[in-house]
C-alpha cells in the first residue's frame, strides 16, 4: 500500500538462502531496533489479513522473515531474522481484520546455536579468531575493521556462545560488532561503520525537533531512513543539534498505511566525542 510519498513495506517469509513468499499491498506494521550492544536485534511485525498458508510457516524454526521498506522502487532490507519461539499471535479478529503478530531476532539462529569451541596455539590475530568463529556458526562476515588487530601471543581458546567470544575478542581489539541482516559487521569503537550522505534538516527529513540526550548524544526523528544502521555517520542541518554524528541506536517504526508512522529514530553520538 502506498501513500503520497510512495512508502512501501514488504514481508518475505521463507528459509535462509532460499526463495520466500512475499506479502505486500496489505497493511503491515514493523517496529525494529538496532544497537551496538552485541545482542540479537529485535523486531515486531504485524500483518493484517495475510495469507494463512504463508503465515502458518512462522511456527517452523527454520523459517526466516525478511522485511524490506522504502519509497517507490527503492526498497532496502530492514530486518532478516528467525521467529522468536512462542511469539506468534493470531490470526486474531480485530474488528473487520484478521491480525497476525510475531517477533524475530536478527542473527537469532547464530546466537542460539551450538557453542563455539576452537583453540589456537601460538600467535593468533583477533581478525583470524573473528573470521573463524563466525564461519563455525555459519554467519558471513560482511565487514571487518578492527581498531587494533591485536595479537594473542599465547594463543586463544574460544569457548561458549558466539556473543561471549565476539565480545571478548572485539573488546580487546577496541571494536564493536553487530549481526545485521544475518551478516557480521565489526568496526572500531567510537568511529563510523560507513560514511553516508545522509543530511537531516527540517526540509530534508526531520519530523521532530532534535533533543539532547546527554553531553555527547542527541536524539533525532526523521521520515523513514531504512538503510541507516548503527555505526553510520550522518549530519544534522538544523538547530538545535547542528553537526556530525555517529549512529548508536536506530529504531524504525514503519506502517504501510498512509496515516500510520513511517519514521526512523536515531540516537547519535557527536562525531569525535
Q: Above pLDDT 70, what percent of the chain?
A: 89
* pLDDT at 30 (0 to 100): 96
Place of cell 578492527: 146
Question: How many whole angstroms separate alpha carbon 163 and alpha carbon 171?
Answer: 12
3-state secondary structure of 183: strand
* Cα dihedral 191/196/24/26 (nearest 10): 80
Residue 45: which of 34, 55, 60, 53 has the closest Cα? 55
pLDDT of residue 206: 93
CATH of domain 113-188: 3.55.50
pLDDT at 213 over 90: yes
Does pLDDT of 4 surpass 60? no
Evaluate whether 247 touches 227 at the Cβ level (below 8 Å): no
b/e per residue, 134-154, with b = 16+ CB within 10 A? bebbebeeeebbbbeebebee
Note the CATH number of domain 194-270.
2.40.240
DSSP per-residue codes, 125-161: EHHHHHHHHHHHTT--EEEE--S---EETT-EEEEE-
Return d(Cα 103, Cα 105) in angstroms, integer: 7
Q: Judging by DSSP bridges, how do beta strands 74-83 and 63-71 pair with one another? A: antiparallel
Is pLDDT at 2 greater than 50 in this prediction?
no
What is d(CA 186, CA 176) in angstroms, rounded to the nearest whole number?
A: 6
Q: Which residue has the higher pLDDT, 81 or 3?
A: 81
According to DSSP H, which parts of 15-173 are helical? 52-55, 108-112, 126-136, 162-172
pLDDT of res. 91? 93
Radius of gyration of the chain (CA): 20
DSSP assignment letter at 84? P
Distance separating the N- and C-terminal Cα atoms of the chain: 42
pLDDT tens digits for range 107-160: 665 555 567 889 999 899 999 999 999 888 888 888 888 889 999 999 999 888
Give the C-alpha separation, 224 to 271, whole Å. Answer: 22
Q: pLDDT, tens digit, for every residue of 6-64?
A: 899 999 998 876 668 999 999 999 999 887 655 667 899 999 999 999 999 998 878 88
pLDDT of residue 1: 36
Using CA atoms, how far apart are residues 125 and 155, in angstroms rounded to an integer? 9
- The SS3 assignment for 163 reads helix
Name which of 57, 48, 71 is nearest 12 in CA terms: 57
Find the helix or strand (DSSP H, E) in which 29 lies. strand 28-34
Q: Is the pTM of this model over 0.95?
A: no
Rounded to whole angstroms, the Cα distance separating 149 from 141 reads 16
Per-residue confidence (pLDDT) for residue 18, from 0 to 100 = 66
Amino acid at each position: 500500500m502506498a501513500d503520497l510519498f510512495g512508502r512501501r513495506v514488504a514481508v518475505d517469509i521463507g528459509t535462509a538462502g532460499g526463495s520466500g513468499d512475499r506479502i505486500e499491498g496489505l497493511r503491515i506494521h514493523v517496529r525494529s531496533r538496532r544497537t551496538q550492544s552485541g545482542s540479537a536485534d529485535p523486531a515486531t511485525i504485524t500483518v493484517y489479513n495475510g495469507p494463512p498458508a504463508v503465515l502458518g510457516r512462522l511456527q517452523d524454526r527454520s523459517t526466516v522473515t525478511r522485511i524490506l521498506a522504502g519509497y517507490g522502487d527503492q526498497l532496502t532490507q530492514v530486518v532478516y531474522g528467525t521467529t522468536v519461539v512462542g511469539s506468534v499471535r493470531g490470526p486474531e479478529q480485530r474488528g473487520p481484520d484478521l491480525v497476525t503478530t510475531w517477533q524475530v531476532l536478527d542473527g537469532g539462529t547464530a546466537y542460539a546455536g551450538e557453542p563455539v569451541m576452537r583453540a589456537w596455539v601460538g600467535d593468533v590475530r583477533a581478525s583470524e579468531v573473528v573470521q573463524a568463529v563466525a564461519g563455525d556458526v555459519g554467519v558471513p562476515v560482511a565487514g571487518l575493521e578492527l581498531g587494533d588487530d591485536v595479537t594473542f601471543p599465547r594463543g586463544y581458546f574460544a569457548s561458549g556462545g558466539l556473543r561471549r567470544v565476539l565480545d571478548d575478542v572485539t573488546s580487546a581489539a577496541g571494536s564493536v560488532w553487530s549481526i545485521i541482516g544475518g551478516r557480521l559487521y565489526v568496526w572500531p569503537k567510537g568511529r563510523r561503520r560507513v560514511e553516508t550522505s545522509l543530511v537531516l534538516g527540517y526540509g530534508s527529513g526531520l519530523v521532530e525537533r532534535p533533543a539532547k540526550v546527554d553531553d555527547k548524544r542527541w536524539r533525532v526523528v526523521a521520515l523513514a531512513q531504512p538503510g541507516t544502521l548503527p555505526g553510520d555517520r550522518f549530519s544534522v542541518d538544523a538547530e538545535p543539534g547542528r553537526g556530525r554524528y555517529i549512529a548508536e541506536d536506530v529504531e524504525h517504526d514503519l506502517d504501510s498505511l498512509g496515516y500510520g508512522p513511517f519514521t526512523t529514530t536515531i540516537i547519535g553520538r557527536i562525531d569525535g566525542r
